[in-house]
Amino acid sequence: MHIRPLAWLALAAFTGHMGLAHAQPTDPKPHACPTEVPTGATCHVGEDGLGGFYWIAVPAGWKPQTGVLVVHAHGGPADTGPATLDRGEEDLKRWAITVKAGHAWAGATYRRGGFGVSMAAEDTERVRRIFVKHFGPPRRTILHGQSYGASVAAKGAEMYATVEGPNGPVKGPYDGMLLTSGVLGGGTRAYDFRIDLRVVYQYVCKNHPKPDEPQYPLWQGLPMNASLTRAQLAARVDECTGVRKPAAQRSEQQKANLATIVNVIQIPERSLIGHLNWATWLFRDLTQLRLGNRNPFNNANVRYQGSSDDAALNAGVLRYTADPVAVAELAKDSDPEGRINMPVLSLHAINDPTAFVELESAYRETVERAGNGALLVQTFSDESEHSFLSEPQYPALFTALLQWIDKGDKPTPQSVASLCKGYEAAYGNTCRLLPDYRSAPLASRVAPR
């Protein structure tokens, strides 16, 4: 009988409803646009009434009767503290390409940092409603999710697939969805490799935690009262692996340690410290603040491969069994079910160092199981970045998605690549799309469990 209150507390922590007063959002007020936003556009800021902030950018000459609104769900959730207006400005700077393409842009900071996919989807929808109230209902509305924000968008598309109308449920407010560099496996799958990283790293390096420090289950990320900083963790990683040094300056032991970690976990060297940060501070936020100190991660029967002695590695790594209540709450908050009712277009770099490209396969399988495979088109690029890819690819994606929505002209990876070529003169860079690529199953990259 004690499980239900704990589960409710976990859900409340996810959604941010633990005693937080719900005030009315403030009206958008004019604000100087970042220099990245095209000249002539107007920018506006406000508070969402729940603790978060929002930014809105409207291109010169934009009219709701003919215009498109792109509602942006940002990535993360690396920041685990309170929301800041600056965070929203950084998102607008990065995605000013949307305004350059002629579309209005609206983005929420979310009401707080840390994990909470459904919460972030609510906040994203909240800023859309603010936009409509003050700028008018646009001709089309596209939901754009980047990185973790793709998980937010995918969940939000299902949460708001239908809304209550005067005569019963009607189709929701979004006409289409664009997912870029998406973390699309849901919380119960997308972070498995990071618990793998923690146990393999600890087996190899034995310094997170150090032997003379308080010991804790690694799925906790870090004790709440620990004083370890990101700089200190980076120094420990460097001491063990030499990852921040040129290869020629690493000791033989450091080279061996680094090779074991990156070969088993299948991550590039340059992303090791970043992934360990997430598997430390984000895990602390997720497991202790959102799940009531319960473990959603399981590696009890995982077979690790890629080291010089896999038998010793598998005998020596720490093993954990997931708490079913934690798994259920995490799934409820963050796992997509594929219940989409609009066109969805995605883009992912095949060598993304942060969100594995194989996560696209996990989402594709989910959508197909739900019987909605015809509503999803996935595109891929020959790039090795995560946060922002070659610029002309984005207006091509917007155009392809709008043609699909307006005319029923479903794009193919080949047609998107052709559209992209037409934008190179105006947007510079080169199109890097790979029309014939198809992502491999997630199990080919992350050891199944």
Q: How many CA atoms lie within 13 A of 191 on its CB side?
A: 32
**Confidence band for 16, pLDDT divided at 50, 70 and 90:** low
Asked if pLDDT for residue 337 goes beyond 50, the answer is yes
Rounded Cα–Cα distance for residues 143 and 125 (Å): 9
Rounded mean pLDDT, 337-355: 97
Amino acid at 135: F
**Confidence band for 228, pLDDT divided at 50, 70 and 90:** very high
SS3 content of the chain, % helix, strand, coil (to 5): 45, 15, 45
Rounded Cα–Cα distance for residues 190 and 196 (Å): 12
Rounded mean pLDDT, 13-41: 81
Contact indicator for 344, 177 with CB cutoff of 8 Å = yes
**pLDDT reported for residue 13:** 63
**Confidence band for 22, pLDDT divided at 50, 70 and 90:** low
Rounded mean pLDDT, 129-145: 98
Rounded mean pLDDT, 22-45: 95
Q: Region of 221 please: left (phi>0), alpha (psi -120 to 50) or beta.
A: left
Rounded mean pLDDT, 62-87: 92
**pLDDT reported for residue 7:** 43
| Residue 258, helix vs strand vs coil | helix
Asked if pLDDT for residue 5 goes beyond 60, the answer is no
Which residues make beta-bridge pairs with 163?
170
Question: What are the tens digits of pLDDT across the range 409-425?
Answer: 999 999 999 999 999 99
Asked if pLDDT for residue 19 goes beyond 80, the answer is no
Rounded Cα–Cα distance for residues 223 and 46 (Å): 35
**pLDDT reported for residue 428:** 86
Locate 122 and state its tokens. 């609510």
**Start-to-end C-alpha separation, the chain:** 29
Contact indicator for 37, 92 with CB cutoff of 8 Å = yes
Asked if pLDDT for residue 49 goes beyond 60, the answer is yes
**Confidence band for 6, pLDDT divided at 50, 70 and 90:** very low
Mean pLDDT of the chain: 94
Asked if pLDDT for residue 232 goes beyond 60, the answer is yes
Q: Which comes out higher in pLDDT, residue 241 or 81?
A: 241
**Confidence band for 77, pLDDT divided at 50, 70 and 90:** confident
